[in-house]
């Protein structure tokens, strides 16, 4: 079926560098996307979201880019810190029908000193 | 703490036993979701409530699973006759259904181990 997937299962970056985590989706009807961060043994933590009528949205040290033409989503983390080490998931939602989020497998980000 | 809470945080049980988990959503959120997450995977949808009404169930929700939200506030998820394959993290999320495309906020999860 249609799904959300991630390009890389693991990403290792040095502290202070910028990180880019990518996500592909296949459902052209998806109109809302969320990035979550999940630390070991904890629930997913909201990072940033973006609606399909936007191309870019910025938060504190994070930027999400949406390319609807190629159905691609990315999360950019500026000046990556050791506390950013976690698994990152993108999730999609279709419409406001109350439907559940559809998650990908996740990308593990490891920040090295 | 005004976030989503879940209890217990950990549960170890023997195969064949029944278990029940509780979720307390963010107080003003009328939509509540249950997900299951196995190691190395993203959360998978199980079911969701709008107020006290259970509006959707995933095919993952077998007959041994039942969820309730009797007063439209907290919710319980019961697994009867547990199997080893039920071992997973069970996550609860809530959102404000009044706003379009509102974010779902997750609780810390209940980690279940079936021996």
Show residues of chain B in contact with A44, CB under 8 Å: 43, 91, 106
Give the best residue of B8, B24, B42 to mutate against chain A (max A CB count within 10 A): B42
More confident position, A31 or A78: A78
Dihedral sign, Cα of residue B54, residue A95, residue B73, residue B34: positive
- Using CA atoms, how far apart are residues A78 and A48, in angstroms rounded to an integer? 14
Q: Specify whether the CB–CB gap between A73 and A65 falls below 8 A.
A: yes
Cis check: omega of the bond before A63, within 30 degrees of 0: no
Residue pLDDT, tens place only, B17-45: 999 999 999 998 999 999 999 988 899 99
When pLDDT is averaged across residues A19-46 and rounded to a whole number, the result is 91
- Using CA atoms, how far apart are residues A91 and B93, in angstroms rounded to an integer? 13
Q: Do B97 and A98 touch (CB under 8 A)?
A: yes
Residue pLDDT, tens place only, A38-64: 999 899 999 999 998 999 999 999 999
Q: Which residue of B has its CA nearest to A39?
A: B108
> DSSP alpha helices (H): ranges in B6-85?
none
- Nearest CB to A43 within list B58, B101, B106: B106
């Amino acid at each position: 079926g249609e799904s959300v997937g991630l390009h890389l299962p693991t990403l290792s970056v040095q502290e202070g560098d910028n990180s880019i985590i990518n996500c592909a989706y296949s459902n052209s009807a998806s109109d809302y996307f969320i990035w979550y961060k999940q630390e070991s043994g904890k629930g997913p933590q909201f990072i940033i979201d973006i609606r399909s009528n936007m191309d870019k949205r910025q938060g504190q040290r994070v930027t999400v880019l949406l390319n609807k033409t190629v159905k691609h989503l990315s999360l950019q983390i500026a000046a990556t810190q050791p506390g950013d080490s976690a698994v990152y998931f993108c999730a999609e939602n279709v419409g406001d029908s109350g439907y559940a989020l559809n998650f990908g497998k996740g990308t593990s980000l490891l920040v090295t000193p | 703490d005004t976030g989503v809470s879940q209890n217990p945080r950990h549960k170890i049980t023997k195969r064949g036993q029944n278990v029940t988990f509780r979720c307390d959503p963010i107080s003003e959120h009328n939509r509540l979701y249950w997900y299951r997450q196995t190691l190395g995977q993203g959360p998978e949808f199980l079911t969701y409530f709008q107020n006290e009404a259970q509006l959707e169930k995933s095919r993952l929700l077998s007959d041994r699973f039942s969820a309730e939200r009797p007063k439209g506030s907290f919710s319980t998820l019961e697994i009867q006759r547990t199997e080893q394959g039920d071992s997973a993290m069970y996550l609860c999320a809530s959102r404000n259904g009044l706003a379009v495309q509102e974010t779902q906020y997750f609780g810390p999860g209940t980690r279940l181990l079936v021996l």
